[in-house]
Structure 1
């Protein structure tokens, strides 16, 4: 039986690498080494657009080195899958995808693991301030209070204020596990304004704020009024002042948009009637908001987000709701806050928002010259299926990028799950799959994190080991995408799952933190190195005496590169080039590592 080779990550076999723009030529080649008496009858590429029929394309024999080739131009955007079919005098076989870009020859076409090809309409470049910057995520109630003597403004009924900012967050729940009294510390926009010098010294260029609009809770994902800032957080003048001062410092602001659901005590739903008896969908079927919601048994049984009755889901296909959020270029929710001078949006639960809704948001943002539109998608956004629909996030007409939760998983795997070089290879190949599946700009626009308000704190995940936390930050800052620091992670704040991961910032601790000093160096280096902002990604895996070491390699098409070596253990490592394995790196970049390298305990070395 013929020996057949294909590697989607090697330019010998596929050009260009990864996703392609419509109308651009794609070249596929496979290499066949038949047995002495074996004849090749045909070689086909089987290409399938998602949801459509297979289409075979014959590969031409190039008559050298066993190479067969086909060239195609993809005419429509979308998701494509492919494999190869080869028939010889010995029978028929197939090439399917295995780990990394490498193909494996199999004899049956049942349950083939096919390669993916993403085809997009347009790239989605982002402004330099976004891609070349560093983001800092702030949970407004938990960062800083800028009022005199720490006064808490806009206190809410049936809530409580913590006695000190050192108190740990705690939920008071009833027998049905519903939160009955929300807890607050009193962080606000004035506090963020007051701490801008701290963020500037850290090197932060963009602040991403969790929701700031009127709501009942401390997290504000239960919006009560999209057009009002929650008085505990501040007012419109506070927001304007913050934006003005940030722009003076060449800093930018991204707001969190929560458009899938609202709070049951919102003006739109008004479950308890606090806005009046005839206001809101739950109070009157004559309400202008009634058609926004899906009632099963009016008024108490309704569709809610993940069954959480506090969060009624809105019908995003409702024309009036669409107009309210983005359709009116002057008076919509987006238009109001865009006109304040904010610089972009992060969209909560983007996979709950229909594609036409996302495109409507994109159109509104374009009209206000706002390019940054980041979606909360936890998985590979190129092939995500939500509610039985393949989502086309990467084709170029909606999201700029997504939250980089796979980056967090990758970092945790490296620092917590690696036992051998094969483990590292598995995790690196899985991560590199994103680079293959995403259009280049979309990939570089990913908002990467190692912690958010929805996850355990990175220091807690890594068992309070500062060495590991520092290596986690080093990994984050060397990967493609824009690094985002979750407030407090840079000073070693701990925290388990929500609400523990939302502690108040421990002001004073930043002066003695070993972690923050390393983060400042990483921020400064990333700002100065274009390869860390724009470069392609590959890995070098080396087998050390105790555990493999890893190099994160960033490079460009001109042959420039930087090797970022990480010792992931407490043991000294001696790295020999002959013991290295290279992933997704062209030959000219591989050749740049030719000498023995020594890494001390937890050392980070750039070559």
Structure 2
């Protein structure tokens, strides 16, 4: 068996080298909410699943064929790849709580529909990223009763972790009593706060091991001692059935399933849900079994721990990650929005500070880029998603200038830009009749917008995708040149060894026509004239004394013409 396994792993690694997400841009959509089969349907929908009795549901009618019918819409923005939420037979509309991993969710379509979506994307020279879940299955307790028989193929008690189950507890009693969490964030946060106040510990955007002053998954270390790596990977994620990867049947079945999904549907890459909760030794096995690049979800703010999850530098791991540390800073940087809470105090989450502040974002990016411990071209950058507290449009209070600034960062910073569906239509996650908040509200339907291609957001995303390609900055080095409360300046090295300068600020719409000084800026005496790639206007005259005195507050992307046509 060893020689066969060796050949299989080699073949997988070769396949992973044939295609790379590096340099690509990604459109991320929720299958159930993106497009129905009926092209004329305009009824708004943001149904919630049943998270109380765990009966799931919440389907609005989006399908795989609906996606196929709207590929022109996605490709029109210039995206290279489409990332779709899980499509396996599941308990609820999001698909992250599988019931049967071997079937396609009937609400979405059939296996043939998924194959057809893959084929249609490849005919357009686009790629398909499928979201997969290996950490858990659907809740094991539904309507107050335990029923494993309907879960395929993991229908035995031994298939699930049972950490801290007492010897006199039945499996049902253990589950209904609510399994203990794998860590105690309240205790850790109280301890961290005391250490910080006493000057015995430091935390915040200037500390690589703890870029936020809070203890939560991914912040394991001296200052958060209850976050045991072992408990972390063997504990429960809410009420979901937490799979026991030490069980040979579970481990081998999942690895075989991953490999077959890639092969059967010609998948170009995978997005791995809750990767941070998986056993550290299991991640490289998943990467090898996939044979394509895996982009892991690691909701961490510890840059050192984040780097340890990635393959490279003599260590094994995933080939890519979603880039959460800068994301946690981004809403405050551009829009003054609180997405978290210091020392675990989330009472102000979802509110705004008096002023936006770019320092935290710039600091985290500087720490990250200077570490040189990860492949930053394989980190996915984003401004919002399906899980966090708010959409970009809402947390920027519909301020188009600030939204533009954030989108420029997503698309032009080093990494894989990811746009959450509906951003191009101004979806805000609060369109329902009661202006509801919460995760399900962030997963609203898109069809009621009519898939307009003339919105300013659609056209702006289209322009940013074109600029990435025309400027040659899909991959390549980046450097943070300057950060202040109001500004962020960074550079990107082009494929032709030239330098592109990006200038961002957090000014509001009312200040759009006011000038903005950035320091440093490119030296104006360098050969060639400087232009702003976004407006097409010459900017050489605004380069003064080592700084850039921009004529307005719109984002600027400066490049040297050098006799070549402008983007």
Please confirm whether the aligned pair reaches a TM-score higher than 0.5, indicating the same fold: yes
Equivalent residue, structure 2, for 1:437? 371
Residue 340 in structure 1 maps to residue 274 in structure 2: no
The offset of 1:290, in angstroms, is 3.3
Tell me, in whole angstroms, the C-alpha distance in 1 between the residues paired with 2:127 and 2:404. Answer: 26
Evaluate the alpha carbon distance shift between residue 147 and residue 273 of structure 1 in structure 2; reply closer, same or farther with a 3 A threshold: farther
Name the residue aligned to 2:134.
259
CA distance in 1, matches of 2:69, 2:403: 28
**1:562 aligned residue (500, 505, 509):** 500
Count of aligned pairs between the two proteins: 437
1:554–1:172: structure 2 CA closer, same or farther, 3 Å change rule? Answer: same
Name the SS for the 2:108 alignment partner: coil
User: For residues 261 and 486 of structure 2, what CA distance do their matches in structure 1 show?
Assistant: 53
Equivalence for 1:145? 36
Conservation of the 8 A alpha-carbon contact between 2:310 and 2:319: no
The residue that corresponds to 1:94 in the other structure is: none
Deviation of 1:191 after TM superposition, in Å, equals: 0.6
Is the contact between residue 126 and residue 400 of structure 1 (CA under 8 Å) also seen in structure 2?
no
The Cα shift of 1:403 comes to 0.6
Match of 2:393 in 1: 459
CA separation of 1:181 and 1:215: change in aligned 2, threshold 3 A: closer
- After the TM superposition, which residues 295-334 of structure 1 pair with which residues of structure 2 at under 5 Å, given as runs? 295=162, 296=165, 297-300=169-172, 301-302=174-175, 303=179, 310-326=239-255, 328=256, 332-334=257-259
Asked if the contact 1:536–1:556 (Cα under 8 Å) also holds between the matched residues in 2, the reply is no
Instruction: Give 1:136's match in structure 2, choosing from 8, 20, 27.
Output: 27
Aligned to 1:410: 329
Are 1:137 and 1:484, in contact at CA under 8 Å, matched by a contact in 2?
yes
Higher helix share: 2
Q: Deviation per CA, 1:204-244, whole angstroms, max 9, x where unpaired?
A: 11111111111111111111111111011111100111111
Deviations 1:169-216 (A, max 9, x none): 34556xxx4455621111010011000111111111111111111111
Whole-Å separation in 1 of the counterparts to 2:316 and 2:422: 35
Name the structure 1 match of 2:469. Answer: 527
| 2:146 partner SS | coil
Q: 1:406 to 1:274 in 2, by over 3 A?
A: same
Greater Cα offset, 428-437 or 192-201: 428-437
Preserved CA contact (<8 Å) 2:520 2:548: no
* 8 A contact 1:186–1:232 mirrored in 2: yes
In structure 2, the residue matched to 1:87 is: none
Give 1:575 shift: 5.3
Structure-1 residue corresponding to 2:519:
580
**1:477 to partner: Cα distance:** 1.2
Partner of 1:373: 294
Counterpart CA distance in 2 for 1:229 and 1:304 is: 32
Equivalent position of 1:194 in the other structure: 69
Match of 2:536 in 1: none
Deviation at 1:266, TM superposition (A): 11
The answer to whether structure 1 residue 224 and structure 2 residue 125 are counterparts is: no
Residue segments in structure 2 that go unaligned for 5+ positions in a row: 1-12, 182-234, 338-352, 430-436, 528-539, 560-567
Q: Distance in 2 between matches of 1:336 and 1:266?
A: 28
| Alpha-carbon offset, residue 553 of structure 1 | 1.5
Residue number in structure 2 paired with 1:353: 278
- Say whether 1:507 aligns with 2:507: no
Identify if the C-alpha distance between structure 1 residues 309 and 564 changes in structure 2 by more than 3 Å, giving closer, same or farther: closer
TM-score of the aligned structures, taking structure 2 as reference length? 0.68
User: 1:282-322 CA distances to partner (integer Å, 9 max, x unpaired)?
Assistant: xxxxx6x3321234333312458875664111111222111
Task: Please say if 1:400 is aligned against 2:400.
Answer: no
Which has the higher Rg, Structure 1 or Structure 2? 1
Partner of 1:49: none
Write out per-residue CA displacement over residues 507-541 of structure 1, whole angstroms, 9 at most, x where no aligned residue: 32524421111111001111222234223222234
1:316 is paired with a residue whose SS is: coil
Q: Report the CA distance shift for 1:324/1:136 in structure 2 as closer, same or farther (over 3 A).
A: same
Instruction: Determine the C-alpha separation between the residues in 2 that align with 1:127 and 1:382.
Output: 29
Match of 2:193 in 1: none
Query: Could you tell me the TM-score, scaled by structure 1's length?
Result: 0.64
Which residue is 2:411 aligned to? 477
Separation in 1, partners of 2:159, 2:16: 34
Q: Decide which of 550, 558, 561 is 1:598's aligned counterpart.
A: 550
> Cα offset for 1:469?
1.3
Q: 1:415 to 1:202 in 2, by over 3 A?
A: same
Structure 1: which 5+ residue stretches go unaligned? 1-121, 151-163, 282-286
Distance, in Å, in 1 between the alignment partners of 2:126 and 2:273 is 23
Contact 2:63 2:109 in 1 (8 A): yes
Query: SS of the counterpart of 2:358?
Result: helix
> Displacement of 1:596 after TM fit?
5.0
Q: Which has the higher contact order (CA 8 A, sep 6+)?
A: 2
Aligned in 2, Cα 1:606/1:309: closer, same or farther, shift over 3 Å? closer
Matched, 1:213 2:88: yes
2:382 to 438, 445, 449: 449
Q: Specify whether residues 604 and 255 from structure 1 end up closer, same or farther in structure 2 by C-alpha distance, changes over 3 A only.
A: same
Q: Are the structure 2 counterparts of residues 363 and 548 from structure 1 closer, same or farther at C-alpha, using a change threshold of 3 Å?
A: closer
Secondary structure of 1:354's aligned partner: coil
Aligned partner of 1:92 in structure 2 is none
**Contact 2:261-2:267 within 8 A present in 1 as well:** no
Pair 1:596–1:143, CA change in 2 (3 A): closer
